[in-house]
Structure 1
Amino acid sequence: MNTLKKLLYIVPFTGLLFASCTDVEKIEVEHIGGYNTIGDCEYYQNLRAYKATANNYGRPVAFGWFSNWSPAGAYRKGYLTSMPDSMDIVSMWSGAPNRFKITPEQKADKEFVQKVKGTKLLEVSLLSYMGKGRTPDWVYEEVEKKGEEEGWGESEIELQKKLARWKFWGFEGEFESENHYESLARFAKALCDSLYTSEWDGYDIDWEIGSGVFDMDGTLSTNQHLIFLVKEMNKYIGPKSDPEGKGHKLICIDGRMSGLGELDGYVDYWIGQNYGSHRPSISSPDGHPERYIVTENFEQYAVSGGGLLDQAATMPAKGYKGGVGAYRFDNDYNNTPDYKWMRQAIQINQQVFNEWKANQSQSGSEE
């Protein structure tokens, strides 16, 4: 049995008052292969209620890209269950396997974090061509088999793979045609359908076009392509799929966000890569700071924390930011205590929001 210290924050919710940041609740937890067998209890019910206060931008979130998902063995860095409980949204940088490829250990680890702790887990991909991550393996395997039989070179095999992919998605090769966008619409639906069948909580689009991406084939290589894709995705997931705000699978975009203001209302969170910055600019493409998450790079700054704590304390000139997080934040597990910087950032993130909200209430009462 391991004694885990759980932190909660002052957040009123339907009559519940959570313990303060300095209050510590000790919970006895038994771990078997990464699966937390404690079941449900009042602590986790309160934790899920706290998570729900972030719905519809009720407060800033704690976010991160998780890069070493391997929930097996005694070393617990690779377990999602080892993350701080107050993580709201996690993007699966090390992969979000579908229901046919996920291991039993991953499935147990994933389900406990989602269903008991209430953390949202997103699939993430550096989108650069239509079909990425959704083209069946057999499409490429048939090309490779034929190429081996006929003695094709590597360049010919790659060309034929591309053409086979286009054929699978119904793209006839004429860019910017009606057929091109019809094919993108099919891809958008496939992206969303898989989230439901494999039970992921949303999709994080890493949009790096123009930043050295080398696998583009012209089918998804402009802002206009992305705008169309995201609007199509909103037929199934994202804020437009949920006009009453009752709950939906998320759409997030990180990377290069310039020129995407047309997606106002179609994106849940814009995730800035504010790496190395102690005073990040909170500038959402759609003009809504509460949808903008600032992040640090823990591939580089996990030991020192970089600018994460300053980012957590940063607020926009008007309103409040969407949250704070880090790239490869699981590297923070190696600090003492584990997740040293992320735990502090979560507290600061909520503290500055609570102070802002208190000032708003005071200003309203004075008027």
Structure 2
Amino acid sequence: MKQSIICICMGLGIVALLASCSKQNIPEPLNFKELNPIVGSEEYYAALRAYKKSDHAVCFGWWGRSGVKDFPPDMAFRYEGLPDSMDIVSLWGGIPFPGTPVWDEMQSVRKRKGTKFVWCMFGSGTEQLLRKNFPQLAQRDLLAAIDSLAISMNDTIKKYQIDGFDLDYEPNFGDPSIFGDQNSNGSVTNDPHTQRLFKALSQYMGPMSGTDNILMIDGQFDRGIEPYVNYLAQQAYGSTTAAQLQSRLNTYGGGVLPAKKFIVTENMQQYGPSGTSFVYNGTNVGSVLGMAYWNATQGRKGGFGAYIIETDALSNPTQGYYYYLRRGIQIQNPVPY
């Protein structure tokens, strides 16, 4: 559930060819704008961080390029290339290792721009971690083992200096782990193991922790964890109308989730950077922007976003990186970033 850059490469090749044919020797490396971040003033970044801390609808995305070990050739696929006003990035491609240049760049983006990066795991991966780290305790007292797992997960988050946790929760879509009620046959569960995990994690992240760290769930939802989570990122893939988005909230929110905790997301990997057809005020704006325009009948939504957001990185290169995500951010919260 959860495409090459020909023009740039050709351009680099032509420059290299011309340079090799020239009789001049150039001691400094050539500079290409694609290889350098756009750096704003200190005032710009201060205003950006303040915006991120304000009460607003967020931009969220799963990023498949997050775990690269070396810098890619285009800034669009680096941490610095992400939209400045993007709020939360789920590290779908993995977490960079501390002390590496890639990790250093992630930390720079965190501190200067206020972007939050969260660790993402399936329920099955979370259970595997539990049984690997606490095998005997898990057999003897599973709930106590979950409490210990929460402590170790928080230690990992502190070690990698990231901003929280995102559980990919899909018990009715093929995830057979203990984190999910397999017999619920619905979109919302009542699972004691999931509830115990989120209650334990809520000491370190989420709205009850007294910290700025994020605790969220994506896919399905469990009614019992509502007090502990900042957001449910619902995989509203292929939604074509506002009515369908409203139905998603009513169904997956379980009647307890406030609209301000509900993020709607599109699958860019499947439907492309603009998403599928979505008519807003008589115009087909595409589902990504349709999700940005939409708000629930209960009030403002929590935000919008997408899966595999790098699909949008070079979708409209003449307009900069991440064209649709940046347009969506402006639609939700018109700001000069």
Normalising by the residue count of structure 1, what TM-score does the alignment of the two structures yield? 0.68
Among 270, 290, 293, which residue is 1:300 paired with?
Answer: 270
Question: Per-residue displacement from partner, 1:22-61 (whole Å, max 9, x unpaired)?
Answer: xxxxxxxx999978595862111111111111xxxx1111
Structure 1 residue 315 displacement after superposition: 0.8
Q: 1:305: Cα distance to partner?
A: 3.1
Aligned partner of 1:332 in structure 2 is 312
The DSSP-based 3-state class of the residue aligned with 1:237 is coil
Q: Deviations over 1:57-96 (max 9, x none)?
A: x111111111113351432232011011110111110012
Normalising by structure 2, what TM-score?
A: 0.74
2 CA distance for matches of 1:129 and 1:84?
A: 29
In structure 2, C-alpha distance between the alignment counterparts of 1:35 and 1:114, rounded to whole Å: 18
Which amino acid is 1:81 matched to?
Answer: E
Q: Following TM superposition, by how much is the alpha carbon of 1:173 offset from its aligned partner in structure 2, in angstroms?
A: 2.9
Give secondary structure in 2 for the equivalent of 1:290. helix
The residue aligned with 1:9 is none
How big is the shift at 1:264? Answer: 2.4
- 1:329 maps to a residue whose letter is I
Partner secondary structure for residue 300 of structure 1: helix
Deviation larger for 287-296 or 334-343: 334-343
Match of 1:65 in 2: 62
Structure 2 SS opposite 1:248 = coil
Shift of 1:130: 5.1
Task: Kindly report which structure 2 residues correspond to 1:65-144, keeping only aligned pairs within 5 A, or say none.
Answer: 65-69=62-66, 70=68, 72-97=71-96, 101-102=97-98, 104-128=100-124, 131-132=127-128, 134=129
CA distance in 2, matches of 1:169, 1:129: 15
Secondary structure of the structure 2 residue equivalent to 1:241: coil
Answer yes or no: is the 8 Å Cα contact 1:33–1:105 preserved in 2.
Answer: no
User: Identity percentage over the alignment?
Assistant: 30
Equivalent in the alignment of 1:262: 224
Larger mean CA deviation between 299-308 and 225-234 belongs to 299-308
Contact preservation (8 Å) 2:117, 2:164? yes
Secondary structure class of the residue paired with 1:128: helix
Q: Which residue is 1:347 aligned to?
A: 330
1:172 to partner: Cα distance: 5.3
Match of 2:203 among 214, 221, 235: 235
Is 2:37–2:81's contact at 8 Å kept on the other side of the alignment? no
Letter of the structure 2 residue corresponding to residue 91 of structure 1: S
What secondary structure, in the 3-state scheme, does the structure 2 residue paired with 1:112 have?
helix
Matched-pair contact (CA < 8 Å) for 1:124–1:206:
yes
Counterpart CA distance in 2 for 1:183 and 1:81 is 38
Q: Distance in 2 between matches of 1:131 and 1:331?
A: 30
Contact 1:269 1:322 in 2 (8 A): yes
The alignment status of 1:275 with 2:243, answered yes or no, reads: no
| Residue 292 of structure 2, aligned match among 304, 308, 312 | 312
Residue 213 of structure 1: how far off its partner (Å): 2.5
Detail structure 1 runs of 4+ shifted over 6 Å in the superposition. 30-35
- Give the unaligned 5+ runs of structure 2: 1-30, 182-190, 277-286
Deviation at 1:265, TM superposition (A): 1.4
Question: What is the Cα deviation at residue 318 of structure 1?
Answer: 2.4
Deviation of residue 200 (structure 1)?
Answer: 0.6
Contact 2:35–2:74, Cα closer than 8 Å, also in 1 = no
Query: CA RMSD, aligned part only?
Result: 2.7
Q: For residues 33 and 221 of structure 1, do their structure 2 counterparts lie closer, same or farther at Cα, with a shift above 3 Å needed?
A: same
d(CA) in 2 for partners of 1:39, 1:118: 14
Q: Is the 8 A contact 2:138 2:145 kept in 1?
A: no
Q: Is residue 170–residue 180 contact of structure 2 (8 Å, CA) maintained in 1? A: no
**Larger % of helix: which?**
2
Counterpart residue type for residue 77 of structure 2: G
Offset, 1:111: 1.1
Corresponding pairs, count: 273
